[in-house]
Structure 1
Amino acid sequence: MREAATTEPGRLRIIGAVLAALVVLFGAVTVWEISDRATAADDVVGHSQPLSADAANIYRSLADADTASSSGFLAGAQEPREVRQRYEKDIANASRLLVSAAANTGAGGESRKEIALLGEELPRYTGLIEQARATNRQGLPLGGAYLRYANERMSTVLLPAAQRLYEAETGRLYTDYDDARSWPFASIGAGLLGIGALAWAQRRNYRRTNRVFNHGLVAATAASVVVLLWLVVGTTVARSGLSEARSDGQESLKVLNDARIASLQARANENLTLVARGAVLAEDKKSDKYDVDYTKNMKELDTRLSAALRLADDDSGEEPVSKAVAGVTQWKQRHASARESDMRGDYDLALVQVVGDKDHKDSSGASFDTVDASLEQAVVHEQREFTQAARGGLGALGGLTTGAAALAVVGAAAALLGIGRRLSEYR
Structure 2
Amino acid sequence: MTHPPSGGTPPLHAPDPVSAPVGVPAPRGGGLGAQARRLRAVATTEPGRLQIIGAVLALLVVAFGAVTTLEISQRAAAADDVVGRSQPLSADAADIYRFLADADTSAASGFLAGAQEPDAVREQYRKDIEEAARLLVKAAANTDSATASGREITTLNELLPVYTGLIERARANNRQGLPLGGAYLRYANQKMTGEMLPAAERLYAAETGRLESDSADARRWPLLSLGAGFLALVALAWMQRRTYRRTNRVLNHGLLAATAAASVVVLWLAVGHAVARTELRSAMTHGQASLDVLNDARINSLKARANENLTLVARGAVLTADGSADQYETDYTTGMKALKDRLEKAERLADDRSGSEPVARAATAVSEWQSRHRAARATDDQGDYGSALQQIIGAEGSTGESFQQVDAALRKALAHEQGEFTAAAEDGRGALRGLPTGAAALAVLGAIAVIVGVNRRLSEYR
Q: For this structure pair, what is the TM-score category when the shorter chain's length is used for normalisation?
A: over 0.9
- TM alignment of 1:112-127, pairs within 5 A: 112-127=150-165
Instruction: Summarize deviations over 1:117-141 as a string: whole Å, max 9, x none.
Output: 1000000000000000000000011
* Distance across 1 between alignment mates of 2:339 and 2:321: 22
Q: CA deviation at 1:108?
A: 2.0
Asked if 1:424 is matched to 2:462, the reply is no
Specify which of 204, 208, 232 is matched with residue 166 of structure 1: 204
Alignment TM-score, normalising by the size of structure 1 = 0.98
Q: CA deviation at 1:78?
A: 1.1
**Bigger Rg, structure 1 or 2:** 2
- Any stretches of 5+ residues in structure 1 without a counterpart? none
Asked if 1:224 is matched to 2:259, the reply is no
Instruction: Summarize deviations over 1:229-272 as a string: whole Å, max 9, x none.
Output: 00000001111111111122111111100000000000000001
Specify which of 346, 353, 356 is matched with residue 315 of structure 1: 353
Asked if 1:366 is matched to 2:401, the reply is yes
Match of 2:218 in 1: 180
Specify which of 283, 289, 292 is matched with residue 251 of structure 1: 289
Specify which of 299, 320, 336 is matched with residue 282 of structure 1: 320
* Distance across 1 between alignment mates of 2:133 and 2:301: 22
Q: CA deviation at 1:316?
A: 1.0
* Distance across 1 between alignment mates of 2:125 and 2:95: 14
Specify which of 388, 391, 394 is matched with residue 423 of structure 2: 388
Specify which of 144, 149, 156 is matched with residue 194 of structure 2: 156
- Any stretches of 5+ residues in structure 2 without a counterpart? 1-38
* Distance across 2 between alignment mates of 1:326 and 1:3: 88
Q: CA deviation at 1:160?
A: 0.6
Specify which of 155, 159, 171 is matched with residue 133 of structure 1: 171
Match of 1:402 in 2: 437
Query: Is the CA contact (8 Å cut-off) linking 2:301 and 2:407 kept in structure 1?
Result: yes
Specify which of 294, 299, 318 is matched with residue 337 of structure 2: 299
* Distance across 2 between alignment mates of 1:230 and 1:2: 40
Asked if 1:53 is matched to 2:91, the reply is yes
Q: CA deviation at 1:106?
A: 2.1
Output the amino acid matched with 1:82: A
Instruction: Summarize deviations over 1:158-209 as a string: whole Å, max 9, x none.
Output: 0011001000000000000001111110000000000000001111111111
Query: Is the CA contact (8 Å cut-off) linking 2:145 and 2:151 kept in structure 1?
Result: no
- TM alignment of 1:16-55, pairs within 5 A: 16-55=54-93
Q: CA deviation at 1:423?
A: 1.0
Instruction: Summarize deviations over 1:374-422 as a string: whole Å, max 9, x none.
Output: 1001111111111111101111111111111111011000011111111
* Distance across 2 between alignment mates of 1:85 and 1:227: 58
Q: CA deviation at 1:92?
A: 0.3
Match of 2:382 in 1: 344
Q: CA deviation at 1:350?
A: 1.1
Match of 1:266 in 2: 304
Q: CA deviation at 1:227?
A: 0.4
Q: CA deviation at 1:102?
A: 0.4
Q: CA deviation at 1:315?
A: 1.2
Match of 1:215 in 2: 253
Q: CA deviation at 1:2?
A: 2.8
Match of 2:372 in 1: 334
* Distance across 1 between alignment mates of 2:143 and 2:301: 29
Output the amino acid matched with 1:401: P
Query: Is the CA contact (8 Å cut-off) linking 2:301 and 2:403 kept in structure 1?
Result: yes
* Distance across 2 between alignment mates of 1:2 and 1:258: 72
SS in structure 1 of the partner of residue 40 of structure 2: coil
Q: CA deviation at 1:107?
A: 3.6
Specify which of 58, 78, 90 is matched with residue 116 of structure 2: 78
* Distance across 2 between alignment mates of 1:91 and 1:136: 20
Alignment TM-score, normalising by the size of structure 2 = 0.91
Output the amino acid matched with 1:122: L
* Distance across 2 between alignment mates of 1:217 and 1:2: 25
* Distance across 2 between alignment mates of 1:182 and 1:402: 20
SS in structure 1 of the partner of residue 306 of structure 2: helix
* Distance across 1 between alignment mates of 2:412 and 2:70: 41
* Distance across 2 between alignment mates of 1:108 and 1:363: 46
Instruction: Summarize deviations over 1:253-297 as a string: whole Å, max 9, x none.
Output: 111000000000000000011111000001221100000000110
SS in structure 2 of the partner of residue 425 of structure 1: helix
Q: Identity rate of aligned residues, in percent?
A: 66
